[in-house]
A = this chain, B = another copy of it.
Amino acid sequence: MTSTKKLKQATRADVARMAGVSESTVSYALTGVRPISEETRERIESAMNALGYVPNAMAQALASKKSGLLALLFPVGERGFGETDFEYVEAATAAAAEDGYQLLLWPNAVEDTASLQKIVAQGLVEGVLLMEVRSQDPRVKVLQESGTPFCLIGRTDNSENLTYVDADFSQWGPMAINHLVDLGHTNIGVISMRGELVEAGYGPVIRTEAPLIELAQRMGVTVTIKHPKATIRAGRLAFEELLEEQPGITAIIGFNEPAFIGALEVAGARGMKIPEDLSVLSFGLSEEAATMTVPAQTTINVDGPELGRMAVQYLIARLNGDKKSVLQKLTQPQFFDRGSTGPAPQFSG
């Protein structure tokens, strides 16, 4: 048998009876909200142990209007930077557990606001975490109107008054440029995300590219950006174009995983050695992926676990009644030097 009969759990009434006190006294002994004599407390505790008493979560939730549950809303079919996603989830779950909360997974299409509305109206969860936030995210309004506390992992365009955590993409470009310029590179290519995302105003691309371009200009560095589709093939073409337009390129930055693989294939096919002939650096590439290439890739990444953790903490702060403080955080990028960048090659011709 997979499961034996479900044995009946002891209730507070049982404990009260056995300890010879009232039910409420048992409650207060548990919460410590009011003083209990040492002797009573002991009687209650031994009764609880004897009965193997564990408070019923649902009754507690119903009576107190606190379920101890947080929802993690993750859109189905929309993946951010690959597999890093699970890191967020793991870290968020752990952070929640630390404060006595549990995480509920809610897969949901971004547009499906009807379900969202229903789901929060059920009163099951106390607060909501939003992943894969769009610059115009319809879910935000629904949550605001329902009065459910929430925290974004990411940002909308208009997020001044929202609670959120996000990667500070504005630092990624400058970090990369500085690193490469320090190595002597002055002509850099970028295999960025597909054009539609840029046109759609997708936050991460926009916030990354602008400061990158700006710093490059200030430093007198040539930067050429391509926006191929997210396929290996498109990446190959993009890099070939890049080399055509800028034969002097000595470094490339990738922000589009499949396309960047294509670019690296072309580099390999042309006999360009990494990092001797070409320095290579990826944005937002998971450790697993970064170590699969030969050589492994130097990356600039979002700190997923930190993001997940902070989001939960902010949300819980709101639940605890913090209505006033501005709870917004941009996390520092992580730089992993795995040796795929090196000094700019000297030109022989």
Contact = CB atoms under 8 A, between A and B. Distances in A.
Given A105-B102, A292-B289, A293-B294, A150 B2 contact: yes
Interface in A255-289: 257-258, 261, 264-265, 268, 286, 288-289
A93 B105 contact: yes
Interface residues of A, number: 69
B147 A3 contact: yes
Interface string A145-158: 11111100000000
A76 B86 CA distance: 12
Contacts of A33: none
A5 B83 contact: no
B58 A323 contact: no
Given A93-B107, A105-B105, A291-B258, A122 B56 contact: yes
A56 B327 CA distance: 30
A194 interface: no
Contacts of A286: 83, 288
Contact of A57 (B124, B148, B162): B124
B67 A90 contact: no
Interface in A158-200: 161-163
Interface of A: 1-7, 9, 52, 54-59, 61-62, 67, 69, 72, 76, 82-83, 85-86, 89-90, 93-94, 97, 102-107, 118, 121-124, 143-150, 161-163, 232, 257-258, 261, 264-265, 268, 286, 288-289, 291-294, 318, 323, 327
Given A2-B163, A59-B62, A261-B292, 17 more contacts: A1-B161, A2-B150, A2-B162, A2-B323, A3-B149, A6-B146, A9-B121, A9-B123, A52-B121, A56-B122, A86-B89, A89-B105, A103-B105, A261-B291, A288-B289, A292-B292, A293-B293
16 contacts: A1-B161, A2-B150, A55-B122, A57-B122, A57-B124, A58-B67, A58-B123, A76-B94, A83-B286, A86-B86, A89-B105, A94-B107, A103-B104, A103-B105, A257-B288, A288-B289
